[in-house]
Structure 1
Amino acid sequence: MSVKGAIFDLDGTIVDSMSMWHDVTVRLLEEQGVNNPEEVFRETEPEPLSVMCRLLHERYGAPDGSETLRLRFLALVRDAYSHSVDIYPGCREFLRELVDAGVKLCVASSTSEPEVRCALEAQGVEDLFDFVLSADELGVSKERPDVYLEALRRLGTPMEATWVFEDSPFGLRSAHRAGFPTVCIFNGHDGRDEALCRAESDIFSHDYIELSLALLKDFAAAPKLTKGELRALVVDGSPQVSSAALVSSLAQESDYVIAADRGAEALHEVDIVPDVFCGDFDSVSEETRVWAEASAPVRIAFPSQKYATDLSSAIECARHEAARRGEHLHLSVTCATGGRPDHSLAVLGLLAAHADACPRLVEDGFECRMLSPEGTSRWTLGPHAVGSTISVIALAPGSCVSEQGLRWELDHRKLPLLGDEGVSNIVVSADAVIECHAGIAAVFIIGSPQAELER
C-alpha cells in the first residue's frame, strides 16, 4: 500500500502521557471536590480540553469556571510534558524514517495546540510534523472523525494512503470507519481494551520497534469479494528442515513463496527464489541472507524484539498479497515444527487462528489440514491415502466432524477440545472423506507421502 501521509495522536501514541493526564485530571477533580473523580475522568477523556473543562463545571459541579479550570490544567500539563513525560522507544526513529521517505506528517490531538507543541519540542521532534491540529479548533471529540478529516484536507494526501496512528479505541473506531487505514499503538498499561483496539486497527503493534515503513507498504486491506485463489507457501525456519524434494514440490505448486528468516536456507538448497524474504534475520546464514536479499523481489525486515514470530508475520505477508490480488488465500506452511514441541503446538494454534485461509502444514511424514466452515470444511483423501493413519483433534470448542471411509466412522460427532477421541483412525476406502461442520479440526494424515495425496 502506498504511504503518502500519516496522522498521529499525541498522548499515548507519541508520548507515554496517559497516566499523567489521568493523574492531573483526578488531582484537579479532587481539589474541586467533584464526586467519583475516576468515573468522571473516564466519561470526559474523549473530549477536547475546552469541552471537558466546561463539562466539569456545568455537569459535574466543579466550583471554578471552565476557563479557570482550563488554565490550571494547562499549567500542570505543560510542566509534566517538559519534565516527566517521555517519548515511546523507537518512535523518534520511526518518524524520521517516514519523513526521509517523503511521507507528510501531522499531529491531531484532543490536547490544545500550544501544549502539543510543548510536548513535541521537549522530545525534539516538532520539526518532523507539517502542522499540529487540535480537536479544540473544531469543538468535537475524537468519537467523530472530523479532526482526522480536517487533518487529511490540510495534508492534501489521499485517504487510502494516509495512515492514522492512535492508542484509543474511540479514535481508532472513528478514523477506521471513516475509511482511514489505522495503526494501534498498544502499550498494555493504560487500561485500553485490547479486543476493541484490534477490531478497529489494520495494524496492531505493541510499540514502534515492531513498526517500519516496509510493513505499512506491505499491508493491503482484505477485499469484500474475491475472484480466485492464491496458493501461498511459507517456508519457516525450523532447525529441522523438510527434505529438499518436499520443499521443491510445494514451491512449484504454489503461486507465491515466502521465506521466513532461516526458511530461506531450504529454498536456497533447491535454488528456488522466494517472492518475499522476511524476518529479523537472526538465524539465517550470512551466505543465504546475501543470496535471498539479492534475489527476492521483496525484502521485509522485522525487529528482533517483537511480539509476533517470524512465521506469524510471514502469514500476514501472504494475506496482504492475496488482498492486493483480490484472491482468497490458500496457505501452506513447511519447515515449521521440527525440534521443539512447544513450537509445534504454537504453530497449530497460529494456523487455527487463520482457519479462513484453508491452512495446511506439510512436513516429511505427515500433513495436517485445518478444516473449518470458515475456510475448507471437507477433505477427500483419495486412493493413495488408503492404509494411512488419520488423527482428528478439535482445536475449538464445539467442533463437530464426520468421517466416512475410515475404520471407525463418525457422523456429526462433537469432539472434546484437544481430546484424543479422534486419534489413530485408519483409511480403508479410496473415497474416504473428513468434514468439519462446526469449530476447527486439525486433521493429520500420517504415513502417506504428501506428494501422492490427491489434492
Structure 2
Amino acid sequence: MKNILIISGGNLSEYFVKQYIKDYGYDYIIAVDKGTEYFYNNNLVPDLIIGDFDSANRVCVEFYKEKYGNKVKQFDAEKDYTDTTIAVFEALQIVDEDGQIVILGGTGSRLDHVIGNIQILKAAYDKNIKCYIIDPHNRIHLAKSGETIKKSQSYGKYISFFPLGDKVTGLCLKGFKYNLENYILEYGKSLGVSNELESENACISFQDGILLMIESKD
C-alpha cells in the first residue's frame, strides 16, 4: 500500500477529516477505537477497525461487528500497547517502502496519549517509513538528516525542533530565520521552538540523534 491513513480517537474535526481525505486520498484506512464513530456517522466503512473499544460508542461498534466482522480486530483493554500503536504496527506490515502513514486524531486533551503517539513515530522511523501526526494546527514527524522543506508546502508559519532522546548533535539548519551550524540540541532546552522558513528550500542535517519536527499554525 502506498498511503495509509489512521483515524484515531483523539480530538477529531469531522470537517477536517473529510477535507483531508478529499484532498489527499488514501489506499487503506484504519479506524481506531473512538475514531470508528467518524465512519459510522458518515455511513462509511474503513478497511480495518482496531481497538479495545473502551471509548467508542457501543452502537457503532456493534454495527460494524455485525455487518463487517471480518474487518474488526478487538483487543483486551489491559494490554502492553495503545490502540493507536497497534494500528501503526498493522500499517507497517502493509505499507510500501516509499509509502507513508498519516495519523489523524492523534492529538487531544489526553497528553499522555499525545506523548505516546509521538513516540510511536519511531517505529516507522526505524523502518525508514514516513509517518505523520496531523491535526488542524500541527504536522508532526521525525525528520531525517538531509531533509529539505519547501516553504510553499510547509504546514504552518512555525517550525520547532526537539530531540527525541538525550540530544541531537551536529544540527545544521539552512534557509531558516534562525539558522544553526553544528549545534548540539539537548533535551530540556527550548532553543528549537518557533523557528520560521526564510528560503523556499530549507535544509536540515545532523550527525546523530532523533529529531522531532513540528510544523504549526495558529
Q: TM-score, normalised by structure 2?
A: 0.83
Question: Offset at 1:290?
Answer: 3.5
- 2:16 pairs with 1:249: no
The counterpart of 2:72, out of the listed 268, 275, 299, is 299
State the distance in 1 between where 2:207 and 2:42 align.
39
User: How many Å separate the matches in 2 of 1:446 and 1:234?
Assistant: 20
Q: For residues 277 and 447 of structure 1, what CA distance do their matches in structure 2 show?
A: 31
Which residue pairs with 1:408 in the alignment? Answer: 178
Q: Secondary structure at the match of 2:93?
A: helix
Change (3 A) 1:440 1:250: farther
Q: Do 1:258 and 1:276's aligned partners in 2 also have CA atoms closer than 8 Å?
A: yes
Does the CA contact (< 8 Å) of 1:387 and 1:428 recur in 2?
no
Normalising by structure 1, report the TM-score: 0.43
SS state at 2:84 partner: helix
Which deviations, in whole Å up to 9, do the C-alpha atoms of 1:288-328 show, x marking residues without a partner?
A: 22443335862211111212110111111112223xxx645
For the residue of structure 2 that corresponds to 1:359, the secondary structure is strand
Give the number of the structure whose residues are more often strand, by fraction: 2
- After the TM superposition, which residues 362-377 of structure 1 pair with which residues of structure 2 at under 5 Å, given as runs? 362-372=134-144
Q: 1:386 to 1:274 in 2, by over 3 A?
A: closer
Q: 2:85 aligns with which of 312, 318, 322?
A: 312
Rounded to whole Å, the distance in 2 between the matches of 1:435 and 1:288 is 46
Cα 1:285–1:398 shift into 2, 3 Å: same
The answer to whether residue 48 in structure 2 is matched with residue 276 in structure 1 is: yes
1:391 paired to 2:163: no
> Which of 196, 209, 214 is 1:444 aligned to?
214
Partner of 1:289: 61
- Are residues 319 and 386 of structure 1, via their aligned partners in 2, closer, same or farther at CA, if it must alter by over 3 Å? closer
Change (3 A) 1:361 1:436: farther
Kindly indicate whether the alpha-carbon contact (under 8 Å) linking 1:407 and 1:428 is maintained by their aligned counterparts in 2.
Answer: yes
Tell whether the 8 Å contact from 1:379 to 1:435 is kept in structure 2 after alignment.
Answer: no
Q: 1:222 maps to what in 2?
A: none
- The alignment status of 1:382 with 2:151, answered yes or no, reads yes
Q: Is the 8 A contact 1:276 1:296 kept in 2?
A: no
Q: How many residues align?
A: 213
**Cα distance change, pair 446–317 in 1 and its aligned pair in 2 (3 A):** same
Match of 1:355 in 2: 125
Structure 1 residues 409 and 244: alpha-carbon distance in aligned structure 2, compared to 1, 3 A threshold: same
* Percent of pairs with identical residues: 23
| Cα distance in 2, alignment partners of residues 230 and 387 from structure 1 | 25
RMSD: 2.7
Query: Between Structure 1 and Structure 2, which shows a larger proportion of helix residues?
Result: 1
- Supply the distance in 1 between the matched residues of 2:188 and 2:21 (Cα, whole angstroms): 28
Q: Which amino acid aligns with 1:308?
A: Y
Q: What secondary structure does 2:166 align onto?
A: coil
Q: Is the contact between residue 395 and residue 440 of structure 1 (CA under 8 Å) also seen in structure 2?
A: yes
* In structure 2, C-alpha distance between the alignment counterparts of 1:272 and 1:378, rounded to whole Å: 36
2-structure distance, mates of 1:298, 1:331: 19
Greater relative contact order, per chain length (Cα 8 Å cut-off, separation 6+): 2
Per-residue Cα deviation, 1:348-394 (whole angstroms, up to 9, x for no partner)? 12223432322111011111111135xxx514233254970111111
Taking the aligned partners of 2:70 and 2:15, their CA distance within structure 1 comes to: 22
Cα displacement (A) at 1:257:
0.9
**Aligned in 2, Cα 1:287/1:362: closer, same or farther, shift over 3 Å?**
same
Larger Rg belongs to: 1
SS at match of 1:337: coil
Deviation at 1:269, TM superposition (A): 3.8
Give the letter for the 1:288 counterpart: C
In the superposition, relative to structure 1, how do residues 433 and 272 fare at CA in structure 2: closer, same or farther (>3 Å)? farther
- For residue 274 of structure 1, what is the amino acid of its counterpart? P
Q: Secondary structure at the match of 1:432?
A: strand
Which secondary structure state, in structure 2, belongs to the residue aligned with residue 438 of structure 1?
coil
Q: Specify the alignment match of 1:41 in structure 2.
A: none
